[in-house]
Amino acid sequence: MTDAATLGSSFTERTEVLMPNDTNHLGRAFGGRILEWMDVVSSVACRRFAGHQVVTASIDHVDFHAPIATGDVVTVESYVFDTGNTSLTVRTTVRAEDPEVDEEWDVTTAFFTFVAVDDDDRPVSVPSLDCPSEDERALRERALDERRDHREALIERLGDEGASE
């Protein structure tokens, strides 16, 4: 294992057509199916970066902003933007498109944290994050800013809900 790995080395993308078995009775995506795809893509990004197996430690708050219908094309993208000693955090986005009308929209963004493990499921060190290009530095800053903003919004929302009880 090297001492550092690049953000770009972790970039992972998966594209699917939303099929009927991925949907509910209204022909819209099951949220659980989308979360499954996000978890898989996120874990691949982490494995590419760390060079080890990984396990999901946490998923930050997830909001679905728009529905996905049967036949829509779904793209899940993920990259590592932060690391600890044994942990990796990824920004994972979901976009959908209807190619017949050339329309594309954001569905959700979430932040996953994974822990790298050895063959005995014990945590192992991960490389530090290197962002050699301006594009990689911009992606990292965007993810850090978005995660901070998501957390602040959630704290505010939870505070508002608590105040109304």
Contact of 45 with 11, CB cutoff 8 Å: yes
What pLDDT score does 36 carry?
98
Contact of 82 with 60, CB cutoff 8 Å: no
The CATH number linked to 145 is: 3.10.129.10
- For 68-92, give the DSSP string: -BTT-EEEEEEEEEEE-SSEEEEEE
Q: Structure pTM?
A: 0.91
- The one-letter code for the residue type at 111 is F
What pLDDT score does 18 carry?
98
What pLDDT score does 2 carry?
54
Instruction: Enumerate the H helices of 7-133 as residue ranges.
Output: 7-10, 31-50
Domain that holds residue 41: 4-163
Structural domains of the chain, count: 1
What pLDDT score does 158 carry?
87
What pLDDT score does 157 carry?
85
pLDDT in tens, the chain (165 residues): 458 999 999 999 999 999 999 999 999 999 999 999 999 999 999 999 999 999 999 999 899 999 999 999 999 999 999 999 999 999 999 999 999 999 999 999 999 999 999 999 999 999 999 999 999 999 999 999 999 998 898 889 888 765 555
